């Protein structure tokens, strides 16, 4: 009789895991929206709060930055430099239990150095981690998409 109980537990666990993963795309999309809103309103600490406590951000042509305090300072430096109007577009999401891999594109307006504005277009990869049923960015890397 142990075998049927064990089988039921495995089936129940699989069903729970599948149910938990089913909401992940919408939950992560909502977190991306919070990221955009916080950045676009100049709230770097709000952006940093969306990361895990020991997250790592790997900006282009710079050393990796670890932890929310450093991540907040990074985003604040972009905001202070005049970056605005961040827009993220997911192209792929793979949920693997309490982690998820996301790829997408981004656009951002930045000063062009001549008193005007230019659009930065890039691509990103984020590894998400679910902590206490909330998705957080854990690893974040992006770079510019070359003009054609």
Domain boundaries, the chain: 2-144
pLDDT in tens, 28-78: 999 999 999 999 999 999 999 999 999 999 999 999 999 999 999 999 999
What is the third-level CATH fold of 2-144?
A: Nuclear Transport Factor 2; Chain: A, (3.10.450)
In this prediction, residue 95 carries a pLDDT of 97
Confidence of residue 22 (pLDDT cuts 50, 70, 90): low
pLDDT greater than 60 at residue 118: yes
For residues 72-102, one letter each, b for 16 or more C-beta atoms within 10 angstroms of the residue's C-beta and e for the rest, the string is bebbbebbeeebbebebeeeebebeeeebeb
What number of other Cβ atoms are within 10 A of residue 49's Cβ? 15
In this prediction, residue 65 carries a pLDDT of 98
pTM for the structure as a whole:
0.84
For residue 138, the number of C-alpha atoms closer than 13 Å in the C-beta half-sphere is 12
pLDDT in tens, 77-92: 999 999 999 999 999 9
Q: How far apart are CA 124 and CA 36, in angstroms?
A: 14
């Amino acid at each position: 009789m142990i075998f049927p109980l064990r089988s039921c537990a495995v089936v129940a666990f699989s069903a729970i895991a599948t149910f938990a993963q089913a909401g992940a795309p919408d939950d992560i999309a909502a977190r991306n929206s919070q990221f955009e809103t916080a950045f676009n309103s100049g709230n770097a600490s709000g952006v940093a709060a969306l990361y895990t406590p020991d997250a790592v951000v790997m900006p282009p042509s710079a050393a990796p930055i670890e932890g929310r305090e450093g991540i907040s300072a990074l985003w604040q430096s972009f905001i202070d430099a005049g970056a605005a109007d961040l827009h993220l577009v997911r192209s792929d999401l793979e949920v693997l239990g309490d982690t998820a891999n996301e790829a997408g594109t981004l656009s951002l307006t930045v000063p062009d150095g001549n008193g005007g504005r230019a659009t930065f277009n890039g691509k990103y990869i984020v590894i998400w981690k679910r902590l206490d049923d909330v998705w957080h960015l854990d690893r974040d890397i992006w770079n510019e998409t070359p003009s054609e």
